[in-house]
Amino acid sequence: MGKPTGFMDYKREVSKDMLPKERIKNFNEFHEHLPMERQRLQGARCMECGVPFCQSGMTVGGMTSGCPLHNLVPEWNDLVYMGNWKQAYHRLVKTNSFPEFTSRVCPALCEAACTCGLLEEPVSTKENEYAIIENAYEKGYADPKPPKVRTGKRVAVVGSGPAGLAVADQLNKRGHSVTVFERSDRIGGLLMYGIPNMKLEKHIVERKVKVMEAEGVSFVTGADIGKEIKADKLLKDYDRIVLACGASNPRDINVPGRDAKGIYFAVDYLKANTRSLLDSNFADGKFINARNKNVVIIGGGDTGNDCVGTSIRQGCKSVAQIEMMPKAPDKRPENNPWPEWPKICKTDYGQEEAIALFGHDPRIYESTVKEFVKDKDGNLKGVKIVKVLWGKNVETGRMEMKEAPGSEQTLPAEIVLIAAGFLGSQKYVTDAFKTAVTERSNVKTRDGGYETSVKNVFTAGDMHRGQSLVVWAIREGREAARAVDESLMGYTNLMVQ
C-alpha cells in the first residue's frame, strides 16, 4: 500500500464528459480522461482493505457484489499509484481478457462494492483500468504474444461476442488452434453491433481482434452455423466446439396494432445504425432514421438508453421511454445496504442528452403499452399507454400489476423501438447441434459446468446464462475455456481468477 492515507488525502476524480449538446453532434466516445499523473493519485485512494469486496464477485441480496472476474483490484490500483504501469497491466490481464472493453461499458460492480464507498466516494477503479490498458497499447505491453507451443488440437467457437472471444483468447494462449465463426460481416458480436459507437468505438474492438489474429486465432465472418454451414461439418472437423451465440431472441410486445409500419426491435435499430456508420458514415442510407420523427422506446436498461442516445444523434423530433417499473429512489434506501448493488435511479448519458435537448427526462414510469395506433395506410402514428398499479398477490406473494382506471394517454410516434430484453438462444442453432435447452431456451449444462448434452460441444455467455453483462460473458468464456482445455488435455493450467 503505497500511501496509507491516500483515501483521505485525495478526492475522487473521474473523466469529464463533453456537454450533451456538443457530444450529440457525432457518434464518438465523449469522455475526456485524466492525464496520467492525476490518474496515479486516484490509485492512491485504494485502501488495500483487509476484505476487498471489490474483487469478490459474490451474490449479496440476490445481486452481484464486486467484480465477477475477481480482478486483483487493490494490487493494480497500488501499482498505478506507484507508476508501475507495466506490472499493473500484467496483473490486470491475469484475470480480465478484455479490459479495453470493460473499462468502457461495464457498470463498475467493483466500485459499488468498494469499502471506501461505504462512507466516502469509491475508488475510480474503472478509470484506473482504462488508464492501464490504454497505456499498455501505447507502450507496446499489449502487443501480440503468440504461444510458443501448439498442441495440435482444433477448437471451433461459434459466435464472436465477449464470451466467444474470451474462449478463443484463452484456448489460443494454451496452444490450441482456434477458429471463430461469426454470422455477421464483422467480428465482435454484441461489442460490434449491440453497443453504440459512442460507448465503445469500433476501432477498439478491431484493435483487439488484430492482436488475436497475430497471436494465431482464425476468424471467419459471414458464417451462419446451422444454416449455410452444417453443424455436422464442425463436429467432424474440430475436436471441440463452443457455442457462444448470445441471447438472440428479442422479447416482443404483442398488443393491437403490432403490425404497424415503423415498429422495430432495438437490436435491429442499433445494428443498422452502427453498420451504416462504419460502412459509409451514413451515406448509404441503410439505417432506420429517426430524423424529425417522434420516437417511443419501450423498455429501460442499457439498451433503451442507447436507443435514446442514438435517436437524439439522428435528430429525432421527440423521444419518450416507457418503463413498466416504478422509478427507483434517488438515494440508497435502508433495506439496500452496502455492499449490495445500489438500487437507485441512474440517469445515463442518453437521458442526460434528452433532458438537455428537450428539457425533461424521457422516462415515463409505471406505464405499459395498450395499443399501437395506425393511420389509414398502416403507418404508425401513436402509442396508446396506460399507467399500471403494482400490488402483492396475497396467495402467491408475487408482485402483480393492473391498469390504473382513467390513466390512458396517446403519445405521438412514427417510430417505436422495442427494448424489452431477450429470451434465450436461437432455436435453429440448438436444433442443429441437438443440444438440450432449459425452459428459458438457454443451452442446458450441469450446474457449474459448460459441456452441453452433446459430447464435445460446450457453451458460454448469454446463450448459457441468459441476457447479462459483458463482464459476466467474459467470466463465462474464461471458465468454459478451462473446461474445454481440461477435456482435451486431461488437466488445465488456464487461469480463471
Same domain (yes/no): 413, 434: no
Burial class (CB in 10 A: 0-12, 13-18, 19+), 86: middle
Query: Helix, strand, or coil here: 490?
Result: coil
Rounded to the nearest integer, the mean pLDDT of the chain is: 96
The backbone torsions φ and ψ at residue 482, rounded to the nearest 5 degrees and listed phi first, read: -65, -40
d(CA 495, CA 436): 28
d(CA 120, CA 133): 27
Q: Record the cell numbers describing residue 32, joined without a space.
A: 475526456
- According to DSSP, the β-strands at 218-220 and 177-181 are parallel
Q: Record the cell numbers describing residue 309, joined without a space.
A: 442516445
What's the domain count of the chain?
3
Q: Can you give the residue range of the structural domain that contains 96?
A: 6-139
Q: What is the pTM of this model?
A: 0.96
Same domain (yes/no): 80, 195: no
Mean pLDDT of 200-218: 98
Burial class (CB in 10 A: 0-12, 13-18, 19+), 102: buried
pLDDT of residue 496: 65
Last residue of one domain, picked from the residues 139, 163, 196: 139
pLDDT of residue 424: 86
Q: What is the pLDDT of residues 366-422, one digit of tens each?
A: 999 999 999 999 999 999 999 999 888 888 888 888 999 999 999 999 999 999 999
Last residue of one domain, picked from the residues 418, 436, 453: 418
47 falls in which pLDDT band (50, 70, 90)? confident
Last residue of one domain, picked from the residues 378, 402, 418: 418
Same domain (yes/no): 198, 283: no
The backbone torsions φ and ψ at residue 395, rounded to the nearest 5 degrees and listed phi first, read: -75, -45
The backbone torsions φ and ψ at residue 16, rounded to the nearest 5 degrees and listed phi first, read: -90, 140
- Which residues, 6+ apart, have CB-to-CB distance to 118 below 8 Å? 338, 339
| Residue percentage of the chain with pLDDT more than 70 | 99
Same domain (yes/no): 42, 60: yes
Q: What is the pLDDT of residues 58-92, one digit of tens each?
A: 999 889 999 999 999 999 999 999 999 999 999 99
Terminus-to-terminus CA distance in the chain, angstroms?
A: 22
Q: What is the pLDDT of residues 236-251, one digit of tens each?
A: 999 999 999 999 899 9
**pLDDT higher than threshold 60 for residue 497:** no
Same domain (yes/no): 239, 269: no
DSSP 141-182: TTS----S-----EEEEE--SHHHHHHHHHHHHHT-EEEEE-
Same domain (yes/no): 281, 393: yes
